[in-house]
Homo-oligomer: A and B are copies of this chain.
Amino acid sequence: MRLSTRSRYGMRALVDIARQSREEPVRLKDIARRQDVSLSYLEHIIGPLIAGGLLRSTRGPGGGLSLLREPQEIPLVEVISLLEGPLGAVDCVSSPDVCQRSLACATRRLWVELADAMDGVLRSKTLADLIHQDESEARGACVPEAMKPLRVAAPGPGGLSAAGKRSPQ
C-alpha cells in the first residue's frame, strides 16, 4: 500500500512546471535536474500526463512542457488517476460468486471506504494548493529537524506502524 515513484516524481514534475512556467515551456531536462530524477525515466512518467490532457509538449529548440490549464483547474485526483491507476483497487472479478459468500462482501465494503477516503482528499485539492502550500513553507514553516520521522502518518499510539521498508529518495 505504498505510492510508486511514478506518482511522486510525476506530481513533483507538475509542481515544478507550474512554478517555472512563465509563458515559455519548461524543458524536461531542467525538470529532471531540479527534481533529481533521471531524464529517461521522467520521459515515461510525463507521457500519461500529456496523454491525459494535463500537459502540452512542444518539440525542437525552445520547446518543452507547459500546463494546459491553470493550476487551480487541475484536481490532484486527476493527476494520481493518470499516474497510478485506480486507488486501492480490489478487483474480485474473476470469481463472480464473491457476493454469495457474504463474508467477502463485508470486507470488500471496507476496501471501498478506504479508497473513497483517499479519493476525497485528492478530489478536494488542486495543483494550486500544492504550489501555495509550498511557498508558505519555503518561508520557514518547515525546518529540517521537524522532518526527521519521514515515515508517513501513524498519528498517535497504537497507530499504523510495522515493517521497515526503504525507497528511492
Q: Residue on B with the closest CB to A5? A: B90
Whether B118 and A118, one on each chain, are in contact in the complex, defined by CB atoms closer than 8 angstroms, is yes
Q: How many residues of A contact B (CB 8 A)?
A: 91
Return the contact of A166 from the options B1, B93, B107, B158 (Cβ within 8 A): B93
Return the contact of A1 from the options B3, B110, B138 (Cβ within 8 A): B3
Min C-beta distance of A93 to chain B, whole Å: 5
**Surface stretch bound by B, among A21-29, A38-46, A57-65, A75-83:** A75-83
Of residues A75, A97, A104, which shows the largest number of chain B Cβ atoms within 10 Å of its Cβ? A104
Min C-beta distance of A117 to chain B, whole Å: 4
Question: Which residues of chain B are within 8 angstroms of A35 by Cβ–Cβ distance?
Answer: 103
Whether A160 and B87, one on each chain, are in contact in the complex, defined by CB atoms closer than 8 angstroms, is yes
Question: Which residues of chain B are within 8 angstroms of A135 by Cβ–Cβ distance?
Answer: 102
Return the contact of A3 from the options B88, B146, B159, B165 (Cβ within 8 A): B88
A38 to B1, CA, bound (A): 23
Return the contact of A160 from the options B48, B77, B111, B153 (Cβ within 8 A): B77
A117 to B163, CA, bound (A): 20
Whether B133 and A99, one on each chain, are in contact in the complex, defined by CB atoms closer than 8 angstroms, is no
Question: Which residues of chain B are within 8 angstroms of A159 by Cβ–Cβ distance?
Answer: 77, 81, 119, 123
Whether A154 and B91, one on each chain, are in contact in the complex, defined by CB atoms closer than 8 angstroms, is no
Whether B94 and A168, one on each chain, are in contact in the complex, defined by CB atoms closer than 8 angstroms, is yes
Q: A15-B103, A90-B152, A90-B167 are in contact. List 12 more A-B contacts (CB 8 A).
A: A1-B85, A3-B90, A3-B114, A78-B158, A86-B151, A86-B152, A102-B134, A106-B137, A109-B133, A116-B155, A117-B120, A118-B118
